[in-house]
Structure 1
Amino acid sequence: MNAPVDFTALKTRQQGAWASGDYAVIGTTLQIVGEQLAEACDLRCDERVLDVAAGNGNATLAAARRGCLVTSTDYVSSLLERGAERARAERLNVQFQVADVEALPFADGSFDAVLSTFGVMFAPDQRRAAAEMARVCRPGGRIGLANWTPDSLVGRMFKVLGRHLPPPAGVSPPSLWGVESHVADLFGDRAAGIQVTPRHFNFRYRSAAHFVEVFRDWYGPVHKAFAALPAEQAQTLERELIELLESLNRAGAASLVVPSEYLEIVITVR
């Protein structure tokens, strides 16, 4: 029999990974995803919106730009600071609060909409995270998600990482949040309806080597993976990532443009 997963210890390691590097360097390039999600959720002025696992605030800013009353949360305070810097620059009134999506410190039905762009999918206890998002969203409210699919660039990248640093036993892959049937199972009868739209985000870098350099320096899980591996294995990981990127590149030899599929999901809460 497999030992139960120690979610507390796992989450502590995750926090350390996401706090390393500086995700904001990557996150700001993904802003268009937050804007599209805000439109998909048809956000209205003065609606109460919660952004969970908000990172540096892409969905947060998108909702605030539409006049919503936004609370931005993440369990890594340094990422919230990046979001707060962006909000101040745009004169947006946003509340920032350190919070774990698996234990949200808000009353039932506190929000009209709950959003997450490439965030909640990394919560280790997926069922608890889904239950918490549904709990704090009012009946008839919307949960809006953007989740990488298993076959996306990011999904494949994590498979490459997993060959070198196997993920903890008993924990579901984050990319399952990019499978419609899995999301439907997670939310179950809490969902009155689920609308799913496949989309692509284009990663744009000078080259595959440039992509790996940026992610190695700034993207927490990749940064930690390279730091944990001996030099020879790190070189192998770099080569495998470059091979993956080059196999998906649609820009030719002069640049790198790699589409990465994600699901845009809008759940109406029962």
Structure 2
Amino acid sequence: MNTNKKGKKKLARKLLHKYRLVILNEDTFEERFAVKLTRLNVFVILSLSTIILIALTTILIAFTPLREYIPGYSSTALKKQAIELSKKTDSLQQVITINEQYFASIKRVLEGDVNTVIFNKDSIIKAAELDVSEINLNPSREDSLLREKVDKEDKYNLFESATAASNFVLFPPVTGTISQLYNAEEKHYAVDIVVAKDTPIKATADGTVVLAEWTTQTGYVIILDHGNGLLSAYKHNASLTKTQGDLVKTGEVIAISGNTGELTSGPHLHFELWKDGYPINPSTFIDFE
């Protein structure tokens, strides 16, 4: 026990033993600076200095732009650009998905893949049995205001809409003999024009190519979007001169006539017109002969 106490006292004396740090002028040996120190003071000062240095370095790296120069840290500008690009990519993906659905629906309609509407017989009978006297047929205030607004728009836009419609002219894609007329009852929503093989097929109006590909039944098909819900389709072509996304002018050659596809019996053009998703008779607007 005495030995341990002596050892502790000796260590305490070493730690608390005072030293004098003196700075002298080398030439005159004049004392410029002097301070009393102990081993314990030196250890405490060095420890505090190390802690403060580490803290300042951490703060400097965490809260200043200097961290961008340290390997492994990403730039703030790069992070901002990455976020903006991610948002734009997501928006473009949504637009692409909507366009693909739109083109797929157009393709199904033009190929005649239209599902028959299924009616619920029970609901129709139930609706027919309703007493008309029990139904409130008086228009609401909102309905009356809407009707008045629509009447005013029709009144003042009559001549403007008539002028726009009269200026819209469709160009015949080809001239020839009509072998089969438009017949909605037989689901033949087109006009078939007999032409010589390799006859140039021209755009009926200005527009954008929304579909240009090969199908088993109708061969090479090209579809143009003319705006305002108007589409034109050209089928059974031997080849196409335009691709999807191209802009075309009225009368510009977009395909070469042929006899491709299963549903054909000779060189001809199968020409369709669609307005707002409904087929219309091309002969009403175009003279093919």
Which is bigger in relative contact order (C-alpha 8 A, separation at least 6)?
A: 1
* More helix, by proportion: 1
- TM-score surpassing 0.5? no
Bigger radius of gyration, 1 or 2? Answer: 2
TM-score w.r.t. the length of structure 2 is 0.21
